[in-house]
């Protein structure tokens, strides 16, 4: 027997065509089994195999290749999954394909997204954008208690096709790949949808992997959106990580595109946050941007009245009276979202001795208290040190917990008051993460003087970063000595090592950059 393309189908016919007597017995047995009830089935016991991500697993596409596998750096789509996992009903050429694999896990991997022996199908996605995927009841029941109840529980329904409109096909395939192959394949585009699927079908180890993926990719750009999702998925650890980023890098988070996509409940929780490290005018502008996006979502004209209406009570969570007077006069007062009475009362709040009562909170946010990691045990000065002639002072450091570097503490002049110009930089493996050009005044003491980045820079644990400064000013200044390779600051441990970028003598034992100023 050959198919339309002339391929030999004898082996395939042997697998699929059963004698009528066998079919009859099978049908009777099936009916008998259904009548007796599935509650008499023995409980399923299984062991979750430890993931070994470094070991390459063979897939059916490697046994029966017809197309070049997709690049590992390419985002995995439904079509690419189908290319990687071939339909063995149409392409199998070896009757004894089972003998090519030595373990049950490898043989199960061949069944992933495969019509061969499939006894159930899932129709994924919304109408008009559906995808039909094959499955195998036993394998699915072993991997998920929800599938076990669906196929073998007391209320099991013997449907050949199951519609699941609320799960994206790519996310469902990622979950199936974990169940069949014990492999985790996540991308930034599908991780949230995969987390939803893992939660829905109670696949806890995959859900944990999704949360870990989100935590490692967390930044000011996506922190607000992930905060909203973490509350929805009831992941308190991820929620806490999101708050850490939002607090420390508040202005970046509030100005991100993702901030406009959050729900109203998340908006209120951010606006009332006491530790938000941002100017109030930035908070106000972010709320207006969210209101404009919300008007579009509700198909409303983006007028000042509609913006105020969609903000609702969240408007009073903005601490307008704590703005600088210039920010209020040139910004909030002219925005149009405040009523005339509110504008007059706030102006009186700034200027009058007898202040009117306001609905807006009038106490400034506490923000975050910066911490300082001092790496020298003493400092000194000599008549011929420390000189600055456009050369770079640099040191490398690493931490054991995520922190946010807000700036450096630097030494000043050792021979009276002086002003310095400081260009500070922070790099990771040569990539510039943050820089700023500031001036600071030193009073001639051995104290350190803070120089800040425009925004705090997120520092991940167990990776060395390079802190650098180029100073221009009085050539004679204090310098540190008796430097330490490891410093404990609260719950954070800093490690230091010399940097090849340092051309002015700074190292672990002595030199400049005595302090790292950070939030934790």
CA distance 478 to 385: 8
Q: d(Cα 480, Cα 375) in Å, to the nearest integer?
A: 8
Please report, in angstroms and rounded to a whole number, the separation of the first and last CA atoms in the chain. 70
Q: What is the mean pLDDT of residues 249-258?
A: 94
Other Cβ atoms less than 10 A from the Cβ of 110: the count is: 25
> Does 497 have pLDDT greater than 90?
yes
Closest CA to 460 of 518, 519, 402, 407: 402
Query: What's the number of CA atoms in the CB half-sphere (13 Å) around residue 477?
Result: 29
Q: CATH 3.40.50.10490: does it fit domain 98-217?
A: no
* pLDDT at residue 96, as a whole number: 79
Both tokens of residue 84?
Answer: 């990687």
Report pTM. 0.74
pLDDT of residue 99: 83
Considering only 79-83, 152-156, 288-292, 354-358, which range has the smallest mean pLDDT?
Answer: 79-83
CA distance 474 to 471: 9
User: Are 85 and 113 contacting, i.e. CB atoms less than 8 angstroms apart?
Assistant: yes
User: d(Cα 42, Cα 284) in Å, to the nearest integer?
Assistant: 61
* pLDDT value, residue 342: 94
pLDDT at 404 (0 to 100): 96
Q: Please state the rounded mean pLDDT for residues 190-202.
A: 94
The arithmetic mean of pLDDT across residues 59-81, rounded, is: 37
Say yes or no to pLDDT of 189 above 60: yes
What percent of the chain stands above pLDDT 70?
81
Whether the per-residue pLDDT at 495 is higher than 90: the answer is: yes
Take residue 204 and report the two structure tokens written for it: 């806890």
Q: Which residue carries 């903005």 as its tokens?
A: 318
Helix (H, G, I), strand (E, B) or coil at 114: coil
Mean pLDDT value of segment 184-192: 91
Distance from C-alpha of 182 to C-alpha of 49, rounded to nearest angstrom: 7
pLDDT, residue 156, reads 84
pLDDT on residue 482: 93
d(CA 465, CA 291): 39
At residue 443, does pLDDT exceed 80?
yes
Task: Reply yes or no on whether the pLDDT at 81 is more than 60.
Answer: no
Rounded mean pLDDT of 41-50? 35
> In angstroms, rounded to a whole number, what is the distance separating the alpha carbons of residues 91 and 73?
27
What mean pLDDT do residues 318-324 have?
95
pLDDT at residue 94 is higher than 80 = no
pLDDT band for 390, please (50, 70, 90 cuts).
confident
> Tokens for 170?
């790519």
- Give the residue with greater pLDDT, 165 vs 23: 165
Binning pLDDT at 50, 70 and 90, where does residue 104 land? confident
Q: 38 pLDDT band (50/70/90 cuts)?
A: very low
Specify the pLDDT at position 256.
94
Q: Is the pLDDT score of 59 beyond 80?
A: no
Nearest to 504 by CA among 376, 388, 424: 388
The structure tokens listed for 455 are: 């925004």
Mean pLDDT, all residues of the chain: 82
416 backbone φψ class: left, alpha, beta (φ>0; ψ -120 to 50) = left
pLDDT the model gives residue 385: 64
- What is the band of 220 on the pLDDT scale with cuts at 50, 70, 90? very high
Q: What is the pLDDT of residue 474?
A: 72
Q: At residue 317, does pLDDT exceed 90?
A: yes
3-class secondary-structure state, position 225: helix
Domain covering 247-351, topology: 1.25.40
pLDDT at 86: 37
Please state, in angstroms and rounded to a whole number, the distance separating the CA atoms of residues 182 and 92.
Answer: 23
Between the alpha carbon of residue 129 and those of residues 77, 126, 211, 417, 507, the distances in Å are: 14, 6, 27, 71, 60
Average pLDDT over residues 309-321: 95
Residue 33 has pLDDT above 50, yes or no: no
CB 316 within 8 A of CB 267: no
Give me the residue spans of the domains in the chain. Answer: 98-217, 247-351, 371-519
Least reliable range by pLDDT among 135-139, 164-168, 262-266, 378-382: 378-382
- Burial label for 353, CB within 10 Å (0-12, 13-18, 19+), is exposed
Average pLDDT value for residue range 119-139 = 91
More confident residue, 30 or 356: 356
Contacts for 431 with CB less than 8 Å, ≥ 6 apart: none
Sequence-distant (6+) residues with CB within 8 A of 57 are: 105, 106, 109, 181, 182, 183
Is a pLDDT exceeding 60 seen at residue 78?
no
Contact assessment for residue 172 and residue 197, using Cβ atoms and an 8 Å cutoff: yes
Annotation: CATH topology of 371-519: Jelly Rolls (2.60.120)
């Amino acid at each position: 027997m050959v198919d339309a393309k002339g391929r030999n189908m004898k082996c395939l016919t042997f697998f699929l065509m059963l004698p009528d007597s066998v079919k009859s017995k099978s049908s009777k047995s099936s009916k008998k089994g259904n009548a007796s009830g599935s509650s008499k089935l023995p409980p399923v016991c299984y062991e979750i195999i430890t993931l070994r991500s470094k070991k390459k697993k063979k897939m059916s596409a490697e046994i029966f290749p017809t197309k070049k596998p997709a690049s590992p750096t390419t985002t995995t789509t439904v079509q690419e999954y189908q290319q990687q996992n071939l339909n063995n009903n149409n392409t199998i050429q070896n009757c004894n394909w089972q003998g090519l694999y030595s373990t049950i896990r490898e043989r199960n991997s061949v069944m992933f997204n495969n019509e061969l022996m499939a006894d159930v199908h899932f129709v994924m996605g919304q109408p008009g954008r559906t995808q039909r995927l094959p499955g195998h009841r036993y394998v699915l029941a072993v991997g998920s208690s929800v599938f076990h109840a669906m196929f073998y529980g007391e209320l099991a329904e013997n449907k050949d096709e199951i519609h699941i409109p609320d799960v994206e096909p790519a996310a469902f395939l990622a979950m199936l790949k974990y169940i069949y192959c014990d492999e985790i394949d996540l991308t930034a585009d599908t991780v949230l949808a995969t987390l939803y699927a893992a939660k829905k079908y109670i696949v806890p180890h995959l859900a944990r992997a999704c949360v870990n993926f989100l935590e490692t990719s967390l930044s000011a750009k996506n922190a607000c959106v992930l905060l909203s999702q973490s509350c929805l998925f009831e992941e308190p650890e991820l929620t806490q990580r999101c708050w850490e980023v939002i607090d420390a890098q508040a202005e970046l988070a509030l100005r991100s595109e993702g901030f406009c996509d959050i729900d109203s409940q998340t908006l209120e929780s951010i606006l009332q946050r006491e530790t938000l490290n941002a100017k109030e005018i930035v908070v106000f502008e972010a709320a207006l941007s969210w209101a404009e996006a919300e008007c579009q979502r509700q198909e409303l004209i983006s007028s000042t009245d509609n913006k105020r209406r969609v903000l609702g009570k969240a408007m009073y969570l903005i601490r307008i009276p704590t703005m600088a007077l210039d920010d209020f006069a040139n910004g909030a007062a002219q925005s149009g979202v405040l009523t005339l009475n509110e504008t007059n009362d706030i102006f009186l709040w700034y200027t009058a001795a007898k202040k009117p009562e306001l609905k807006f909170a009038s106490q400034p946010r506490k923000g975050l208290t910066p911490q300082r990691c001092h790496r020298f045990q003493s400092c000194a000065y000599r008549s011929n040190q420390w000189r600055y002639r456009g050369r770079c002072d640099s040191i490398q450091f690493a931490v054991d917990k995520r922190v946010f570097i807000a700036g450096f503490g630097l030494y000043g002049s050792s021979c009276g008051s002086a002003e310095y110009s400081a260009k500070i930089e922070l790099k990771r493996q040569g990539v510039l993460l943050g820089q700023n050009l500031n001036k600071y005044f030193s009073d001639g003491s051995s104290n350190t003087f803070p120089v800040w980045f425009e925004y705090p820079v997120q520092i991940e644990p167990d990776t060395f970063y390079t802190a650098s400064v180029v100073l221009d000013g009085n050539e004679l200044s204090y310098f540190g000595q008796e430097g330490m390779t490891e410093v404990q600051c609260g719950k954070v441990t800093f490690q230091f090592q010399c940097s090849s970028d340092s051309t002015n003598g700074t190292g672990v034992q002595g030199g400049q950059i005595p302090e790292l100023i950070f939030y934790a």
